[in-house]
Chains A and B, each alone.
Chain A
Amino acid sequence: MNNRVDPDFIKSLNKFGRKDWNACMHCGNCTAVCTLTDRGVLFPRKDIRTLQMGLTSKLATSVEPWMCYYCGDCTDTCPRDANPGELMMTLRRWLTAKYDWTGLSGLFYRSFTSLVIAFLLVAVAIIVIGFIKKFNQADIMHFGHSLEFWMIIGVFCLILVPNIFRMFYFTVIKPKVGAPFGSYITGFFSLIGNMFTQVKTLKCDKQSLRWFEHFLVVIGYLGLLVITVYLDWFGTINQIIIYAGYITGGLVFFFTLLLMFSRLSKGSQLTKYSHSTDWFFIIWLFLMGLTAFLVRVFIDTGLLTDHFWLYMVHLIILAQWGILLVPFGKWTHFLYRSFAIYFSNAKTSGLKLKGQL
């Protein structure tokens, strides 16, 4: 592998998070204190070393940042105050940008202004479409419904799948680990399991409550997705679907509210340093749950015809979420984390095959 040294890399990483990682003296405390490290999966110290040396291409092969669920033990006990936990978070952002072929992720992480401009552009586009359709309620709701559907297909095919393949290329193909084919098949079910439950969080000592909150947000979010897109929540007259929609929407906005409070109170290492994109992610998820909930309430009470602006607001938030936050933001950790475990297991079996472990 061609290892090129980029001495300014550590500085350029400042946009993705904040801390002086040159403080690290490589005592290995962080790696050893972490409950998730294992043979062959060593972090965070190894990545700090790579980072300090400016080996960007080597860092891109690292799946380890995705294995960290940020319990903050390493940062709490770091003897140099180098904050390795935040480094893992920062590297996750950097890797997200690295995997993204469009380069927009990196742009949004680095520049807050461009993120705001993109959000405004999407909002303007939706309003323009509203004017074109003369704010006809049925037309726009029909448009919104098909927008949801095409957004999902488009983002998945154009952005997410290619990005996963890029991740596969960076982490498995490029370092030539030589993982046996069988390991991809055996690992597939755990991939699906990890994707929807993120169950590995529970291996962290003090993360059970947070995992539960996160799990409910995921369940709420996926439930809302299925109910609005495939079961047509806003159009249906089926009482079960309507109530299920209320429950999932409520779950999303209630638990995102909790997560927002924890970010404001900064009680744990995880919530101490919030990147602007973290805030966008959680606020938009909250707004999505809230506006979806309110739209259905307005439909049920017959207020929507007089207050159609609410659906427009919901549509704007939905479009911003689907076009900007899902493909280029924090949402992708849903995929990358589980695929990282998948690839890491393949890598480990490759190393075992070579007798290096």
Chain B
Amino acid sequence: MGENNLTGIYFCFPKNGNTDVVDISEVASYAGSIPEVTVTWHSGNLPLTDINSLAATIRNKSIKRIVIAGDTPGFEKAFFTKAMVSAGNNPEDIVLASFREHGAISRADTERAKAIVACAVFGVPFDLAAAPDESDVNTETLVIGGGISGIQASLEIADSGNMVYLVERTGTIGGHMAMFDKTFPTLDCAACILTPKMVEVGQHANIELMTYCEVRGITGTPGNYRVTILKKARRVNLATCIGCGTCSEKCPATAPSEFDEGTTLRKAIYIPFPQAVPNKYLIDADSCRYVQEGKCGVCAKVCPVEYCINLEEKDQEIELTVGNIIVATGFKPFDAKKIERFGYGRFPNVVTSLEFERLINAAGPTGGEIVFRTQDKKGNWIFSPDSNKPKSIGIVHCVGSRDENHNKYCSRVCCMYSLKLAHLVKEKLPDADVYEYFIDMRSFGKGYEEFYERIKGEGIHIIRGRTAKIEEKGRQLMMRSEDMLNDKLIEQNVDMVILSIGLEPRQDAKEVAKMLGITTTDEGWFNELNYINDPVSTFTGGIFIAGTCQGPKDIPDAVAQGAAAASGVLKSISNTKIKQSVKDLTLDKIESQAKQLTNI
């Protein structure tokens, strides 16, 4: 480019009060240092108005090209087109450098913004210049998390003929979906969809299932990651256990069942649930008497298979080498005890939605009967089939979500699963009254609004107004709310209250992100490369995210994202080349690549 190719850059940035934006003055001073650039202009949020003076500047400085940089450069283009025409230049020599479109959003992305400007000045598409290097790829993949998203991703990759290691923290795959009774909006049985997939994962020749394992460390580069996995002592040999259940029958120690959300008791040697994959027993060290006190060992004595139960087994560390990693670690349900006004933990018949899912599940603790919580002989509050049935049930939406004091975001699934639960209550107890208190009904998906209309027609009282507190009134619970569409205060007595708890990132999400070299939002959801057009890739090459670890989402979306992550992995496998991390791209590198491209 010579003298006759001088460029002017115009920076537009809206003043909307957001302070965490790209540092425009730094980008501008960088842009001024590019040799071809003669003039840089700044702007407030107001568009320019004086075309003549701008055209004069363009003529005087003999500017031939204009770059408009900022978040919404397109808005200013029309004005510059006029100015260029009246200055006698070609109006097509106006290039837009959109920061937001290319992922330069916050102050930390200032370097990226500089690169975007540089590419625009050189007239090279940003995505072309900012392409990371490629390297060879290991065809094996690690999937972290065995929920529906991880299962879907594993199956997609394994079905294509590539090896997958599926690492799951608990004793079985299935995740939260395995706990649900029905799925909205079709009211399909969750287990009927999930368990065949689980069995397929368990039997697939290309999937090595590693349950009761945790990823401890990751080193290496994209395409060639070395992963350290902690294999927790299961104390039962997976290869020889026949799943007969004799050990569990005789085991004297009990603990609250994780799978039933603590609403039933399980033994210290147990299968998480009857359809678990692998369908083999494991020993929970925290409740096992042999591990804790050194005496007992009944299970080993009664086990019909020789050397199957090894109570002395220790944790092991395994090393794997993989090319790509899919992170599908899922979510943590909101702890309803944090909101004391709702009395969860104080009143036995205030239950969380997840507990109620177990209660209403035909394979759950009561065989699907909706009953009150009862106390067993040892004083544990459990669900037992011989308890009484409630005649009225209240449902509180947005527990822990859309709340400045807890989680500001909408958890996205609660409205729909609450409607589903209301329907299921009506199905099992047709005479029961169901009262739903919501703030806004968010039925946003395919068939969801229709589902809402259907539930409204089933005689469920759906009331607009957030329940503010729950108090005990005799044997009943009083829910105090304002019916804000009718300007009435409602003090509704019900027998049972379901709290529709929201979704939260896993407690250790930030540590996991640090280990993987990816970033999280302030709350702890994993960050994607681009929320809109690349929702499964991360700034680290070869690491993909899927499911609710990226943000609250329902089952269809989690499945879709699992499959999308698998396609990202398969792209690199079938190319036999993998792109290195986007975060390693320096400004100098993008600049030199852009210069090279202009020479072609």
Interface residue ranges, A against B (CB under 8 Å): 25-33, 37-39, 42, 45-46, 76-81
Closest Cβ of chain A to B334, distance in Å, is 13
| 24 A–B pairs (Cβ distance < 8 Å), ordered by A | A25-B439, A26-B484, A27-B466, A28-B468, A29-B468, A29-B482, A31-B482, A32-B466, A32-B468, A32-B469, A32-B480, A32-B481, A32-B482, A33-B468, A33-B469, A39-B488, A42-B482, A42-B489, A45-B482, A46-B487, A76-B405, A79-B403, A79-B466, A81-B404
Asked whether, in the complex, the Cβ of B404 is within 8 Å of the Cβ of A28, the reply is no
User: Is B111 interfacial (CB 8 A cutoff)?
Assistant: no
Residue of B nearest to A74 (CB): B468
CA gap between A39 and B488 in the complex, in Å: 7
For B465, list chain A residues within 8 Å (CB). 27-28, 32
Q: Given the complex, which residues of B lie within 8 Å of A30, measured CB to CB? A: 468
| Cβ-closest chain B residue relative to A32 | B468
A272 to B466, CA, bound (A): 26
Interface-centre pick from B402, B484, B488 (highest chain A CB count, 10 A): B484
Contact in complex: B403, A28 (CB < 8 Å):
no
Tell me the bound Cα distance from A314 to B555 in angstroms: 74
Question: Which of B341, B464, B487 is the one whose CB lies under 8 Å from A77?
Answer: B341
- Minimal Cβ-Cβ distance residue in A for B490: A32
What is the minimal beta-carbon distance from B16 to any residue of chain A, in angstroms?
16
| Other-chain residue from B402, B404, B439, B467 in contact with A32 (beta carbon distance below 8 A) | B467
Task: Tell yes or no: B398 within 8 A of A by CB.
Answer: yes
Q: Judge whether B23 is part of the interface by a CB distance below 8 angstroms.
A: no
Give the docked Cα–Cα distance between A30 and B482 (Å): 9
Does B449 sit within 8 A of A, measured CB to CB? no
State whether B489 touches A27 (Cβ < 8 A). Answer: no
Interface string of B295-321 (1 = CB under 8 A from A): 000000000000000000000000000
**Residues in B neighbouring A46, C-beta threshold 8 A:** 487
A55 to B596 alpha-carbon distance, docked (Å): 65
Which residues of chain B come closer than 8 Å to A29, judged between CB atoms?
466, 468, 482
Q: Give the contact-size bracket for chain B.
A: 20 to 34
- Report Cα–Cα, A38/B488, bound state, in Å: 9
B404 contacts across to A, CB distance below 8 A: 78-81
* Contact between chains at A27 and B439 (CB < 8 Å): yes
Contacting pair B469 A28 (CB below 8 A): no
B341–A28 touching, CB < 8 Å: no
A32/B403 contact (C-beta < 8 A), A26-B484, A77-B341, A79-B466 known: no
CB <8 Å contact, A33 and B489: no
**CB <8 Å contact, A38 and B489:** yes
Complex CA gap A1/B481 in Å reads 29
- Indicate whether A28 sits within 8 Å of B405 (C-beta atoms), given known contacts A33-B341, A42-B487, A79-B398: no
A281 to B488, CA, bound (A): 37
Contacts A45-B482, A79-B402, A79-B403 given; does A31 touch B489 at CB 8 Å: yes
The residues of B that contact A38 with a CB separation of less than 8 Å are 489
Q: Is there a chain A Cβ closer than 8 Å to B483's Cβ?
A: yes
B427-451 residues with Cβ-Cβ distance < 8 A to A are 439-440
User: B312-351 interface mask toward A, CB cutoff 8 Å, 1 = contact, 0 = none?
Assistant: 0000000000000000000000000000010000000000
Mark interface residues in B463-481 (1 if CB within 8 Å of A CB, else 0): 0111111000000000011
| Distance in angstroms between the alpha carbons of A46 and B481 in the assembled complex | 14
A31–B469 CA distance with the chains assembled, in angstroms:
11
List the B residue with the shortest CB-CB distance to A34: B468
User: Which residues of B have CB within 8 Å of A26?
Assistant: 484
Give Cα A79 to B467, complex, Å: 12
Q: How far is the CA of A33 from the CA of B482 in the complex (A)?
A: 9
* CB-based contact A77/B484 at 8 Å: no
- Min CB distance A46 to B, Å, is 6
- A45–B466 CA distance with the chains assembled, in angstroms: 12
Q: How far is the CA of A76 from the CA of B406 in the complex (A)?
A: 12
Which chain B residues in 391-421 approach chain A with CB under 8 Å? Answer: 398, 402-405
Smallest CB–CB gap between A37 and chain B, Å? 6
**For residue B490, which residues in chain A have a CB less than 8 angstroms away from its CB?**
32
How far in angstroms is the closest Cβ of chain B from A246?
46
Given contacts A45-B484, A79-B402, A79-B405, contact A39 B489 (CB under 8 A): yes
Beyond contacts A32-B480, A32-B481, A38-B489: 17 other A-B pairs, Cβ-Cβ < 8 A, are: A28-B464, A28-B465, A28-B482, A29-B466, A29-B468, A29-B482, A30-B468, A32-B468, A32-B490, A33-B480, A45-B482, A46-B487, A76-B405, A77-B341, A78-B404, A79-B398, A79-B403
